Amino acid sequence: MIEQILFYTLAALALVAAIVVIAQRSPIYSAFALIVVLCSLSGIFAILGSPFIAVIQIVVYAGAIMVLFLFVLMLLNVQKEADDPGGSKPLRTAAAALAAVFAAQVGLVIARARFASGPEQYEASTRKVAELLFSPTFLYVFEATSILILAALVGAIVLAKRDL
């Protein structure tokens, strides 16, 4: 009962904030709304009995990545977007077509989805997540991802600082 109330509150908050992210003209407000979305998602993870994912969601996305977003927005002092519908006519037609394709895909996914009849309990403790991540199934993928991130890091430094 409490879980359902919490879930619907958080889900509504996430949806409203997500709409604010794209409807807002001021980029700073959009960034803060995105932080609200990420925090609500973290709350939903916590309800699902997965505290580790919930915390990592905040540490990585709401904490680290959004700070960088805000940093750039504030440093560049981005002004409010002008009230301009934007884009030429063919561009808007293309956008409408893409939106239709996306809506169809979402509809297809929802139609095919299998909904749980009752609350399913997953054990997703930190230990379980770690054991799964370092099991033979995911170990190589996990390490490959690490190398990818490291390569991106080195690449960013090389691009930003040409004379080391």
Partner 1 sequence: MSPLIQELIEKALVVGIVTHGLLIVFSFCTLIERRVLAFMQFRLGPNRTGPQGILQPFADGIKLFFKEEFIPAGANKPLFILAPAVAVATAFMSTAIVTYGGALTVPAFGFLPEWLQGRVIELQIADLEVGILYLFALSSLGVYGIVMAGWASNNKYALIGGLRSSAQMFSYELALGLSWVPVILVTSSFRLPEIVAGQAGWFWNWNCFVVFPAFLVYLVAGTAEANRTPFDLPEAETELVAGFHTEYSSMKFALLQMAEYVNMITISALGVNMFLGGWNTGLPFLPPTAAYGLVGFFTFAAKVAGFLFFFFWLRGTLPRFRYDQLMHFGWKVLVPVAAVFILVTAGVLAALA
Per-residue burial over 98-111, b if 16 or more Cβ lie within 10 Å, else e, is: eeeeeeeeeeeeee
Q: Does 62 bind partner 1 (CB under 8 A)?
A: yes
CB of 116 to partner 1, least distance (A): 23
Nearer to partner 1, 92 or 127 (CB): 127
Contact partners, residue 164, CB within 8 Å, separation at least 6: 158
**Residues 6+ positions from 87 with CB-CB distance below 8 Å:** 95
Which of 74, 100, 103, 158 is close enough to bind partner 1 by CB under 8 A? Answer: 74
Nearest CB to partner 1, comparing residues 3 and 93 = 3
Please tell me whether residue 6 binds partner 1 under the rule CB under 8 A. no
Pick from 71, 134, 138, 142 the residue near partner 1 by CB under 8 A.
71
122 class by beta-carbon count within 10 Å (0-12 exposed, 13-18 middle, 19+ buried): exposed
Measured CA distances, 2 to 39, 41, 47, 110, 156 (Å): 19, 17, 10, 26, 46
Distance CA 61, CA 75 (A): 20
Is 39 a binder of partner 1 (CB under 8 A)? yes
Question: Using the rule CB under 8 A, which residue among 67, 91, 130, 149 binds partner 1?
Answer: 67
In which residue are the tokens 């409807």 written? Answer: 23
CB nearer to partner 1: give 2 or 111. Answer: 2
Task: Please state the closest distance from residue 43 (CB atom) to partner 1, in A.
Answer: 12
Contact characters 107-146, partner 1, x per CB under 8 A:
------------------xx--------------------
Among the residue ranges 15-23, 65-73, 87-95, 113-121, the one whose residues contact partner 1 (CB under 8 A): 65-73
